[in-house]
Amino acid sequence: MAIRISTPETDHHHVERGLLLGLTLVALFVRIWWLDRRGLTYDEAFTALIARISAAEILHFHWTAAFEHTPLWALTMRLWSMLAGQREFALRFFPLMAGVLTVPLFWQLLRSMAKPAQPLRVVATILLIFSPVL
């Protein structure tokens, strides 16, 4: 049985992991809390409608008619809506998870860029969590 010796470096690593996990859970809670509080926007309704047609029709539509929406997004949402359904909560949950996953990715990006101090990372991540765009 190996005995692990706690060092300031490993303690700091555990604190940082716990902090990141906590911030990610806050991001999940904040996004789920408001997920179905408002009706579908135009883009969300369009996504719901386009997700109902076949993959071939999605590709044909995007090839001939529209350039503002990518076919990959429509195909991904088609697959997601086949698995989760077409309710507002279900339609918004996949993008919600993408938004939540930006938190640890953003944290790692800040960590790799010139090693900013942890308080700066925490403040920047909190601003990201409460950003109305994500």
Matching residue, tokens 């279900």: 90
Q: What is the pLDDT of residues 14-32, one digit of tens each?
A: 888 999 999 999 999 999 9
Q: What is the pLDDT of residues 49-72, one digit of tens each?
A: 999 999 999 988 888 876 666 789
Q: What is the pLDDT of residues 84-119, one digit of tens each?
A: 999 999 999 999 999 999 999 999 999 888 676 778
Give the predicted TM-score (pTM) of the model: 0.76
Domain limits of the chain? 40-86, 96-134
Separation of CA 118 from chain center: 22
Matching residue, tokens 């509080």: 37
Give the integer Cα–Cα distance in Å for 74 and 66: 12
Give the integer Cα–Cα distance in Å for 120 and 25: 19
